[in-house]
């Protein structure tokens, strides 16, 4: 592809800008000394990923990313921060003795993922760029070929919640103790 052809295609511009935004926010997620800031940078990074899915013609997946990750999982993160503490200032303890180890692991992960996607798709190109996939195709895949994983997902969700409840039961016991003291 020539440079002129690259410039003429607006999708490339959107991709480049969004890619830079994702990179910046993703780096800030791990370098920000404030947990809440880190969570909000993660929101921005995920929003950028949603735009990427949109560019890859996956309209439904893009919105699912916004709905489930930004709308629900990140709220869970924020609540997780709030139930431990609500830090309003900077938290020095957050950074980060094992910087090098985690950086190395991230690099390895990047390598593995790149290798996997390269060997899986090679030089295939997405043919439908610019025309989002219909929701029906996705629904067909979920309830047809992938119906067993689809049903199993509900079990995973259930087990996650059982774990959550087990953690949450701790706030019953001190209350009970207080009540017993009061009686």
Partner 1 sequence: MDWIDFLIVVLRVVVVFALLLLVTIINVWAERKVVADFQNRIGPERAGPFGMLQTVADGLKLFFKESIIPARSEVGMFLLAPFLAVIPAFLIFLNIPFGRPITIGDRVIPLQGMDVDVGLLIVLAMSSMAVYAVVIAGWSSGSKYPLLGGVRATAQAISYEAAMGLAMVAVVLFSATQAADAPGGTLSLAELVERQSGTWAGIIPRWNLIPQIVAFVIFFIAAIAETNRAPFDLVEAEQELVGGYFTEYSGMRFAMFFLAEYINIFSMSALTATLFLGGWNGPTWDGVLPVWLSALLPFVWFMIKTYVLVFIFFWIRATLPRLRYDQLMALGWKRLIPGALGWLMLTAVVLGYRRFGLPWS
Partner 2 sequence: MALVDYLPFVVMLVLAAGFVAVSLVASRFARPSNPTPEKLAPYECGITSEVEPTQRFPVKFYLVAMLFVIFDVEIVFLFAWASIFNELAWYGIAAAGIFTLFVLETLVYVWKRGALDWNVKTRSRYAREHFRIEEAA
Kindly state the smallest distance separating residue 182's Cβ from partner 1, in Å.
20
- Radius of gyration for the chain, computed over Cα atoms and rounded to the nearest angstrom: 22
Quick one: which of 11, 71, 147, 160 contacts partner 1 (CB under 8 A)? 71
Residue 66 site contact among partner 1, partner 2, none (CB < 5 to 8 Å, cut-off depends on kind)? partner 1
User: Given its phi and psi angles, is residue 130 left (phi above 0), alpha (psi -120 to 50 degrees) or beta?
Assistant: left
Quick one: which of 8, 94, 104, 134 contacts partner 1 (CB under 8 A)? 134
Closer residue to partner 2 (CB): 22 or 47: 47
Kindly state the smallest distance separating residue 50's Cβ from partner 1, in Å.
9
Residues whose CB is less than 8 angstroms from the CB of residue 52 and which lie 6 or more positions away in sequence, other chains included: 15, 18, 19, 22, 62
Say how far apart CA 70 and CA 62 lie, in whole Å.
11
In the region spanning residues 124 to 153, those forming contacts with partner 2, defined by CB under 8 A, are: 130-132, 135-136, 138-140, 142-143, 147, 150-151, 153
């Amino acid at each position: 592809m020539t440079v002129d052809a690259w410039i003429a295609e607006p999708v490339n511009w959107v991709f480049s800008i969004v890619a830079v935004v994702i990179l910046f926010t993703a780096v800030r997620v791990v370098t920000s000394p404030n947990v809440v800031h880190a969570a909000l940078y993660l929101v921005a990074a995920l929003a950028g990923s949603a735009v990427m899915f949109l560019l890859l013609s996956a309209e439904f997946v893009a919105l699912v990313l916004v709905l489930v990750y930004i709308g629900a999982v990140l709220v869970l993160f924020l609540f997780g921060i709030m139930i431990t503490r609500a830090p309003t200032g900077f938290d020095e303890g957050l950074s980060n003795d094992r910087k090098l180890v985690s950086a190395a692991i991230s690099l390895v992960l990047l390598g593995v993922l790149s290798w996997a996607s390269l060997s899986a798709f090679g030089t295939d190109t997405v043919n439908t760029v610019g025309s989002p996939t219909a929701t029906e195709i996705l629904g067909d895949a979920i309830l047809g070929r992938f119906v067993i994983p689809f049903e199993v997902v509900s079990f995973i969700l259930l087990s996650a919640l059982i774990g959550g409840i087990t953690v949450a039961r701790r706030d019953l016991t001190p209350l009970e103790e207080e009540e017993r003291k009061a009686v």
